[in-house]
Chains A and B, each alone.
Chain A
Amino acid sequence: MLRRFALWVALAWFCAAGAVVTADMASAQDGQAPTTASGTADDRAASFQAVSGGTKEDVAGGPLMLLAYAAVWIIVFGYVYRINRLQRGVEANLERLESSIARQGSSV
């Protein structure tokens, strides 16, 4: 159940990422040059400053930010799920060992 949910979440992320990238490529094919944030490259690379007044975005940053945050959650919780599954597997092995040993002990 949890595994299926995790797979659906991961699939939804890939679909959303695919939609954003496809929309990007489509706008590039329409003849629009790739747009970047405002200011010079050196300005953007050396400091982050707070905005004053309204913002005008050439590339919508919202979907990119949402995808990034969703990816962080999916990756971290996916790993926690993997550790949990590994632990359950080890527990099952221990129980199997224990019952075989108990069976042999009772038959001797």
Chain B
Amino acid sequence: MANSVQASAARSPAASSAQQVEPAAASRAPAAIRWLTIASAALLLVELYLIFIHAPVEQQMGIVQKIFYFHVPSAYGMYIGFGMAALASGMYLAKRDDKWDAWAVAGAEVGSIFCLIILVTGPLWGRKAWGTYWTWDPRLTTTLLAGMVYFAYIVLRSFGSTGEVEKRFAAGLAIFGVLDMPIIHYSVQRWRGTHPTVITGKGGGLHPDMYPALFVGFALFTLVGVLLMWQRARVERLRQRTLALEIEAAERGLLEES
């Protein structure tokens, strides 16, 4: 049905196009999204079992180390979200297709959600590990910087009906923001900070029973990230078409009486 909305929006007469739109059907999620949701819920149950029953309590930090199994996959989810925002923004600048703009918005929002999870769970872990909630460690600082760049993107995009210039500026901002990702990733290797390096080359690794929870966490957050981005991009596409129809209908004086 989303295709019929797309096709109808492409035609110029507002009346004929809008008459083909069935809101309830247009917003109905495709079967793939429903299956992905079920798979995510199942994986979440497996993940909770692995974290709280299978994985042992850590020797030095105790139970608070279990934050790690959501914190690290969230960072991975953030890379996926911000990566998608930058990629889709690049495609938008190259092709000027609103489809890519919708994916850029979705990527930036979902990446920011994961970034927020990192910035909330990390300090709670840090209180136990470092004795303080926050320290200006290179990885923490660069992650905060990425969050601020994409927060600026979301603020820019939330100014009502965004014009072409704002969309292009926002696309530039998303591409600029992604340059911070390799800096975040390699900061713990390049600069000696306090952030753990457990799963990098320099680290001593995990206890063997901790790996399943971490790997399922990566799979779960990848699935949830893709699911959220897909659904958000669908809603954004629908919103773009509704706005286009609204403008067209207003030009024809159809909205004056409503």
Contact = CB atoms under 8 A, between A and B. Distances in A.
User: What's the dominant secondary structure at chain A's contact region?
Assistant: helix
B207 A100 contact: no
A4 interface: no
B205 interface: yes
Interface in B120-164: 120-121, 124-125, 127-133
A93 interface: yes
A44 B18 contact: no
Contacts, number: 187
Interface residues of B, number: 69
Contact of B242 (A24, A71, A94): A94
User: What's the dominant secondary structure at chain B's contact region?
Assistant: helix
A47 interface: yes
Interface string A65-108: 10111011001100110010011001111111111111111000
Interface of B: 14-15, 18-19, 21, 23-24, 26-27, 56-68, 70-71, 74, 109-110, 113, 116-117, 120-121, 124-125, 127-133, 194-198, 202-207, 209-210, 224, 228, 231-232, 235, 238-239, 242, 245-246, 249, 254-255, 257-258
Given A50-B56, A59-B127, A91-B26, 8 more contacts: A39-B59, A43-B60, A47-B204, A50-B209, A51-B57, A61-B62, A71-B117, A93-B246
